[in-house]
Amino acid sequence: MIQPEKEVSIAPFTYYKIGGVASEVYFPENTAEMLELLQKLTSRGTKYFILGGGTNVLVGDGYWDGAVIITTRINHFAARNDQLICGSGLESSRAAEIGLEHAMSGLEFLYKLPGSIGGALAGNARFDNKNITDALISVFAVHSKHGMKRFMASDLDFSYKHLMIVHEGWIICELSLAWEEGDVDVIGKRMNEIEQFRNVNHHFDFPSCGCVFKNDYKNNIQAGWLIDSLGLKGMKIGGAEVAPFHANFIINTGNATARDVQNLIGQIEQIVLEKTGITLEREIRLYGNF
């Protein structure tokens, strides 16, 4: 049985560099280990949460008297003619690089997307007008009660930033993404453009979680635009600040606590509601003990 690391600070496992100490941290290396672990934690009644790259979460500053499962060691991959099979802990950006190495096109949009491919699927990540579910062929996942199961993309319930099986308690262990033969120069050029876009737009200048709030595509409302229109860029609580370069990013300027970020999120939500009547929906997930 996989053994935990004990009394581990979670901050280094998050892009925010924020988070308290957890009683137990597990790094399963494959699907069988993940299932065994889940069943053990469930039968023991141990509470847990899952992290991939920790790039879309805020973990509380307090002591987490439970387990954290980190997927980054499930990082195998296999390049096939029509698809890339990836362990859920593989970095999303690496999937795009593997495409380039094999002259296969379709995964460029994942280049420089922070975090793991499993985390990207869990939140149906998108960039360049493409959702990861647009490329999805199948998912292999585990559940403490239902065991292991392969889901075909056509059987899944997903929408913008949402994948139903994750809300039902399934943990993604492996997924297959479609690709097709492409021209290395064209693929490389697109990846360079994406990298430049993210650099020019300061995405990697500070620790953050990317976008805090979801956009409302039905009503054509971009959360960042809405927050900016109310003059909230630069608003600060402690070390947390609404990014001057992107109103939907809350950055850690150096010494932010989870409470700072949480309070700033709350203030933005309150101001937006009072001034516009709109209730913002969070993209960021909060875990641990606040």
**Chain residues in the site for ligand FAD (CB under 6 A):** 15, 49-57, 71, 88, 92, 113-116, 118-120, 122-123, 125-127, 166, 171-172, 203-204, 208-210, 285
Q: Quick one: 190 or 203, whose CB is closer to ligand FAD?
A: 203
Sequence-distant contacts of 224-228: CB under 8 A, at least 24 apart? 224/248, 224/249, 226/272, 226/276, 226/278, 226/280, 227/268, 227/272
Q: Assign residue 184 a region: left if phi > 0, alpha if psi is -120 to 50, beta otherwise?
A: alpha
**Shortest spacing between CB 270 and ligand FAD, in angstroms:** 24
**Shortest spacing between CB 167 and ligand FAD, in angstroms:** 10
DSSP state of 48: E
**Shortest spacing between CB 227 and ligand FAD, in angstroms:** 16
Q: Residue 174: what residue type?
A: E
Q: Quick one: 40 or 126, whose CB is closer to ligand FAD?
A: 126
Pairwise CA distance, residues 4 & 258, whole Å? 24
Q: Quick one: 198 or 271, whose CB is closer to ligand FAD?
A: 198
Q: Quick one: 231 or 244, whose CB is closer to ligand FAD?
A: 244
Q: Quick one: 168 or 181, whose CB is closer to ligand FAD?
A: 168
Q: Quick one: 55 or 83, whose CB is closer to ligand FAD?
A: 55
**Shortest spacing between CB 63 and ligand FAD, in angstroms:** 19
**Shortest spacing between CB 277 and ligand FAD, in angstroms:** 26
Q: Are 62 and 20 in contact (CB under 8 A)?
A: yes
Pairwise CA distance, residues 78 & 64, whole Å? 36
**Shortest spacing between CB 142 and ligand FAD, in angstroms:** 9
CA torsion 151→152→158→161, rounded to 10°? Answer: 80
Contacts for 46 with CB less than 8 Å, ≥ 6 apart: 24, 66, 67
